[in-house]
Chains A and B, each alone.
Chain A
Amino acid sequence: MVSNGWRLSRGRGAGAAQLPLAICAVVAIVIVLLGKAEASIFDHARAKISDWVAPILEQVRDPLAGIERWVGGIGTFFSVYEENLRLKRENAELKRWQNAALTLERRIERYELLLHAVANSELPSISARVIGQSSHPFVKTMILNAGTAQGVKSGQAVVDDRGLIGRIYLAGQRSSWVILLTDLNSRIPVVITPSNHRAILAGDNTPAPELQIHELGGKVKAGDRVMSSGDGGLLPPDLPVGLVVADGDELRVALFSNADAADFVHVLDYKAPVEPPPGAAAAELPATRQFTSGDIVDAPAPGQPEPMTSPNALTGPAPLPRLSPGMAAANTPQRPRTPVDEDVTPSDE
């Protein structure tokens, strides 16, 4: 049967499987096209499978992670001295930055106090363990051991201690899938500081995703900081993403996060503030067509400044989003209420 190592014996005659093979080939192409047209069918199956294998992956992960650490440690064993010196230098530098950060933090607190601004609060988050990771040529994904049962939902941002890793694209009951920033299909809106240029961070399965800047003539340079912009309302703004690096003619981003080394991550529960739809012009409102715009706004009380007639003032009661205090602080610009606000905000009565 088998001789000389890997010599294989003959099976049945060639060509016997051609018909089922042709059928299967057609099925494969149909699956590819169906996966593109109706991804939800396969996403549902994927969520079920990941829920099913999640306990197995969790059990297998620990011993394998030990082996991984041991193998990974072999390389660093011979460079412990140099690594120690490098870490001491880095530590000294970080202490300097810590002092600067503390000073700035106190200054910001004072400014916020002066402006009566509500301080930003932490976004609520769900801690989850990485139980699976795909390092394949076409996909860069991660499986977490938290799903809808823990409050994880599709679209939520996933961060490690250093920055944004990706976002949830599929949530099962007890597990969820993260599409990494490096994945071919990942596209997130970012802002580059200090120039404040808006860009799209596009993954291409390389470790450093590409930066697609739409604004021409910008002065984006290597070393600039990249953060999530929050545009589109999917991801929270101001999440640290990475630093701009030049790669020939194009710009890429060296990510702060390290998905390969991630053990525990945080899934941010962010809800974008609901923006009211643009209001109709006063002349378009049936009930107000007969009045002039000045008639709608209450007359100012004696001694008070003349209220400005803004488009919002004419469109009637705009639905205000119901946000938790933290969310409101994180996502809406705060300003002191003015007499104009008082005038145009209708009462519940």
Chain B
Amino acid sequence: MGGQSVLGFVIRTFIVLIPVSFGVVLVMMVNLPVSVTGGLIPAPQLVLAPIYFWALVRPDLMPPIAALGLGLLEDLLSGGAPGVWGGGFLAAYAFSERQQDSLAGLSGSGAVLGFAAAMFIAAGTAYALAALAYWQWPPAAPVLLQSAVTVAFYPLLAAIMNRLHRRFIGPRRED
């Protein structure tokens, strides 16, 4: 009986950690030392996808502090100014949280457009924070390009996150 409860606790902990762990894996992936395009296209900001997805479906598993933490990890691993993407992801999180009713019901291309809006809010905030941190305006084109590439990856990531969510996580009990 006691062993079962310990096993249950371990399984529950594993499930609770899936969204954030998935985000950590994506942060590591985008900071790998390879670029298929030879550096022409900036690495996509894939970690925004799990933040956006689980902020809508299970915000209890992706709280704001997790979004901030993932952004900070991204900043530290990419060598950027600390807090830039942390702030960007929080802005996207706030957008998702405020527009939850309308965004959660979207499907297909509508869902991609919803994510695109979140991505551009995150990128705009990160751009402003980077300008504050570096005390100069960074070029805007790479940020826009990165946002577009990130949005292009969203359908693939959403399919993976859907599977993970249905297979392991599921809705909250009170939903």
A interface residue numbers (CB < 8 A to B): 1-12, 14-18, 20-21, 23-25, 27-32, 34-36, 42, 45-46, 49-50, 53, 56-57, 60-61, 64-65, 67-68, 71-72, 130-139, 141-143, 177, 179, 184-185, 204-207, 259-261
Bound Cα distance from A134 to B68, whole angstroms:
20
Q: How far is the CB of A4 from chain B (nearest CB, A)?
A: 4
Q: Please state if A31 and B86 are interface contacts (CB–CB under 8 Å).
A: yes
Interface range for B: 35 or more
Q: A8-B103, A25-B87, A136-B42 are in contact. Are A32 and B34 (CB under 8 A)?
A: no
A337 to B68 CA separation, bound complex (whole angstroms): 64
* Nearest-Cβ distance from residue B166 to partner chain A, whole angstroms: 6
State the main secondary structure of chain B at its contact with A: helix
Min Cβ gap A319→B in Å is 38
B143→A137 contact, CB < 8 A: yes
Beyond the given pairs A8-B106, A24-B65, A31-B82, 20 more chain A to chain B contacts, judged by CB atoms under 8 angstroms and listed by A's residue number, are A6-B155, A6-B159, A7-B106, A14-B100, A16-B59, A17-B59, A20-B64, A28-B129, A31-B86, A32-B83, A35-B82, A35-B83, A53-B28, A61-B34, A64-B33, A67-B36, A130-B33, A134-B43, A139-B78, A204-B138
Q: Mark B118-135, 1 if CB is under 8 A from A, else 0.
A: 000000001101101110
B57 within 8 A of A: yes
| Cβ–Cβ contact A64 & B107, under 8 A | no
**How far apart are B98's CB and chain A's nearest CB, in angstroms?**
6
In the assembled complex, how far is the CB of residue A180 from the closest CB belonging to chain B, in whole angstroms? 10
Q: Does B79 contact A (CB under 8 A)?
A: yes
Given A11-B60, A136-B43: A25 in contact with B90 (beta carbons within 8 A): yes
Residues of B within 8 A of A20 (CB): 63-65
Q: Assess the A8–B57 pair: CB atoms within 8 A.
A: yes
Q: For A61, what are the chain B residues with a Cβ–Cβ distance below 8 Å? A: 32-34
